Structure 1
Amino acid sequence: MKFRYAMVCSSNQNRSMEAHFLLKKHGFEVCSYGTGAHVKLPGPSLREPNVYDFGTPYKLMHDDLRSKNPDLYRRNGILPMLKRNSTVKPAPQRWQENAADGSFDVVFTFEEKVFDMVVEDLHTRDHVLMKTVLVINLEVKDNHDEAAVGARLTLDLCQQIEAAKSWEESVDDIIAGFEKQHRRKLMFSVSFY
């Protein structure tokens, strides 16, 4: 069975886009979103992030940061990340404005606060379709190396979900087997559209 997947992280577009990139490369139908008010990328200091509106093209962000300090943003991985992102989709999208149509079967988050937000968002919507959606949180540190590891783990979990005859009947076993194999604790919830 083929499912539609959503990858959701806070606002910096690293973890969700790395997973989006890898799943797309393996033929999965996938979208990615942020949940913050803006896209925030590291700046010259913690108090000086680069802030962009959702919908700002990745190429525009890339060109802006390259014009500000190309060595810094190449060294910290932001320019390569934005280049990768632009090969996946034109611009970042916000979950709250773009994921309401009930088109996803499985939603992955990469930090607990985003998981809580997505679950709450799904629970407060009108459930007109009564279509189930599985929300899974795989905790991933927000750096480039961990994002790559998290993407591979997400791919593994998606492949296991796809292989199941019915994820609703086997989700507990899939989660338990994944946690044992990878020594990573997952959170999950079932909601409806």
Structure 2
Amino acid sequence: MKFRYAMVCSSNQNRSMEAHSLLKKQGFEVSSYGTGAHVKLPGPSLREPNVYEFGTPYKHMYDDLRRKDSELYRRNGILAMLKRNATVKLAPQRWQENAVDGVFDVVLTFEEKVFDMVIEDLHNRDQVLLKAVLVINLEVKDNHDEAAVGAKHTLDLCQEIEKAESWEESIDEIIAGFENKYRRKLLYSVSFY
């Protein structure tokens, strides 16, 4: 089976884009989104993040941060992340504004609060198609190394879902197998379009 996947994280574009990039390279039909009000990237201090509107091209962010302090943003990996993101898609998209046009089979989130936001958003929509959507949360720490590990785990999980004749009938076994293999708990829920 071929499913449509959505990767969703908060607002910094690291975890969802790492998974998006890896799945795209493996031939999956995948999109990625953030749920925050803005795209927030680390700045010179915790109180000084770099804030961009969703829809701002990754190349613009890259050029802006390189102009501000290329050494800082190279050292903390933000420039490399933005360069990767620009090879995946033009600009970040916000789930609440852009995902309404798409109908996904599986939505993966990388933190519980985002999982809750996606579930709430899906429940608040008119469910006219009555098409099931599987929403899974794989908790991933927000740093470059953990994002890479999380992306590999996401790929493995998606490959298992693809193998199933019917994810609706085998999701409990797929989740249990994943949790045993990686010693990581998943949250999951089924919603409808």
CA distance in 1, matches of 2:58, 2:21: 14
| Equivalent position amino acid for 1:82 in 2 | L
CA distance in 2, matches of 1:43, 1:9: 19
CA distance in 2, matches of 1:3, 1:25: 15
Question: After the TM superposition, which residues 24-173 of structure 1 pair with which residues of structure 2 at under 5 Å, given as runs?
Answer: 24-173=24-173
| Equivalent position amino acid for 1:122 in 2 | L
1:100-149: CA deviations, max 9, x gaps? 13520000000000000000100111001101000000000000000000
Contact 1:109 1:138 in 2 (8 A): yes
1:20-75: CA deviations, max 9, x gaps? 00000000000000000000000000000000000000000000000000000000
Following TM superposition, the consecutive aligned residue runs of length 4 or more in structure 1 with deviations greater than 6 angstroms are none
Does 2:168 align with 1:180? no
What secondary structure, in the 3-state scheme, does the structure 2 residue paired with 1:176 have? Answer: helix
CA distance in 2, matches of 1:123, 1:74: 41
CA distance in 2, matches of 1:103, 1:25: 21
RMSD: 0.5
| Equivalent position amino acid for 2:67 in 1 | S
Worse-matched range after superposition: 48-57 or 95-104: 95-104
Contact 1:77 1:144 in 2 (8 A): yes
CA distance in 2, matches of 1:50, 1:78: 11
State the aligned residue count.
193
What secondary structure, in the 3-state scheme, does the structure 1 residue paired with 2:126 have? Answer: coil
Contact 1:9 1:114 in 2 (8 A): yes
Contact 1:102 1:129 in 2 (8 A): no
1:2-34: CA deviations, max 9, x gaps? 000000000000000000000000000000000
What secondary structure, in the 3-state scheme, does the structure 1 residue paired with 2:188 have? Answer: strand
Q: 1:27 to 1:4 in 2, by over 3 A?
A: same
The percent of aligned pairs where both chains have the same amino acid is 83
CA distance in 1, matches of 2:103, 2:76: 35
Q: Normalised by the size of structure 2, how large is the TM-score?
A: 0.99
In structure 2, the partner of 1:16 is: 16
